[in-house]
Amino acid sequence: MDVLKSRLVLLVLNFLWTPTRGEMEVSCVFMKSCSLPCSFNVGGEEIIHWILFPENLPVHSYYHGQDQLAYQDPRFSGRTSLLKDLISRGEASLQLSGVRVQDQGRYKCYTSTTSGKKETIISLKVDAPVRKIHIDQTEQQLYNISSSLILSDPVPDVTYSCRISTRTNTRTTTSVKPTSIIWSNNETLPCAEVSEPITGFVWRFKRRRLIVEVSGGTRHVSEEWRPLMKEVSDRGELTLQQLTPEQEGIYTCEVSTAEETRVSSIFLRIEKQQDTSHSLTIGLVVGGVLAVIVIVTVISVLSFVFKDKLPCRKRKTGESEVL
């Protein structure tokens, strides 16, 4: 009966949750462990539910003195825990390990004891740390600075941004959400939109093979792609032609302004085209055969009909003579 009661409490929370004021924001580091704080009034018969909303995904539950994970969402399996020794002191903080970008969102912490009930809202933000910075000094006593972030499981709906600032200016590189296009004749691939005047752009195939680069009023097209590139606009829109399945893959555009570079990726899928000339030949042959069959059939039917209607007269010998 107690188990059923706890399950009913969880269902009621999913539909009748009323958030409390003072939502707390917590920043967690990508692939590290993180603690989402939650406290309650000390009392007996503790019930704790952590839920990710608005999806209402069960994250972690505790009642009857132990974890209850039968309804836990699979994405959190093996990655959540509570500080059991501190529950009796009013501590219900959720320990989340291996933080992922998908974990970002709003979490509800519901607690119930003999002393009362409490709800807490936690907004979790995921920060991606800089794993590596490489600095080279040039002959002009300047520095080249580069940084990279490698994700084992890219998330399509997430935008990644890197910003480098000096005392005089700021440069930002942003990777926008990738898209997918099915190839048709003379397909045009767009670059990411920017609000400032464009200073240059670069199109690459499979992130490494240069297609075209426009900078400072000059244009360079690789020999490999020259026969396949129909045109490229001042906004970076690339129109291709006569593509084959060998050109199926990821196309990347880096469009730059005075202060920003935006990187967009498009997966171009090329479906196998049917040989229309071969199909036309087959159609003509089949059509010709059917026409001959129809003509022969019509002639046979007409001959049979008229033969039955021809008049007869008897010869003197008693034989019928056809007029």
Q: Is residue 87 part of a domain?
A: yes
Name which of 4-18, 88-102, 103-117, 178-192 the model is least confident about.
4-18
Q: How far apart are CA 266 and CA 205, in angstroms?
A: 10
Residues 188 and 84 in one domain: no
| pTM of this structure | 0.49
Last residue of a domain, one of 127, 146, 181: 127
- 13-25: average pLDDT: 53
Residues 112 and 178 in one domain: no
Residue 259 sits in a domain whose CATH number is 2.60.40.10
Helix (H) or strand (E) holding 107: strand 105-113
- 280-303: average pLDDT: 68
DSSP label of 103: G
Q: Is residue 305 part of a domain?
A: no
pLDDT of residue 179: 85
Total count of residues recorded for the chain: 323
Burial state string for 290-308 with b = 16 or more CB within 10 A and e = fewer than 16: eeeeeeeeeeeeeeeeeee
Q: Is residue 17 part of a domain?
A: yes
Q: Residue 166: which pLDDT band, with cuts at 50, 70 and 90?
A: confident
Residues 111 and 197 in one domain: no
Residues 188 and 123 in one domain: no
Q: How many helices (H) and strands (E) does the chain have?
A: 3, 24
- Measured CA angle at 86 (ends 84, 91), to 5 deg: 105
Q: Is residue 197 part of a domain?
A: yes
Q: Is residue 240 part of a domain?
A: yes
Name which of 33-37, 128-132, 199-203, 304-308 the model is least confident about.
304-308
Residues 28 and 122 in one domain: yes
Residues 172 and 56 in one domain: no
Q: How far apart are CA 323 and CA 303, in angstroms?
A: 16
Q: How far apart are CA 45 and CA 88, in angstroms?
A: 10
Read off the amino acid at residue 140.
Q
Residues 6 and 118 in one domain: yes
Residues 117 and 168 in one domain: no
Residues 111 and 211 in one domain: no
User: What average pLDDT does the chain have?
Assistant: 80
Q: How far apart are CA 226 and CA 142, in angstroms?
A: 36
Is residue 285 helix, strand or coil?
helix
* 262 pLDDT more than 60: yes
Q: Quick check: 98 and 118 in contact, CB under 8 A?
A: no
Q: Is residue 51 part of a domain?
A: yes
Residues 102 and 216 in one domain: no
Q: Is residue 186 part of a domain?
A: yes
pLDDT of residue 68: 96
Last residue of a domain, one of 249, 269, 289: 269
Helix (H) or strand (E) holding 252: strand 249-256
Residues 259 and 178 in one domain: yes
Residues spanned by the domain of 30: 2-127
Last residue of a domain, one of 127, 151, 182: 127
Q: Is residue 62 part of a domain?
A: yes
Q: Quick check: 50 and 106 in contact, CB under 8 A?
A: no
* 180 pLDDT more than 90: no
DSSP label of 128: P
65 burial type by CB count under 10 A (0-12 exposed, 13-18 middle, 19+ buried)? exposed
Residues 121 and 181 in one domain: no
- 142-170: average pLDDT: 70
Q: How far apart are CA 30 and CA 127, in angstroms?
A: 6
Q: Left (φ > 0), alpha (ψ -120 to 50) or beta: where does 70 sit?
A: alpha
What is the token pair recorded at 68? 């209850």
* Strand arrangement, sheet containing 34-36: 34-36, 94-96, 80-82
Is residue 160 helix, strand or coil?
strand
pLDDT of residue 5: 41
* Count of domains for the chain: 2
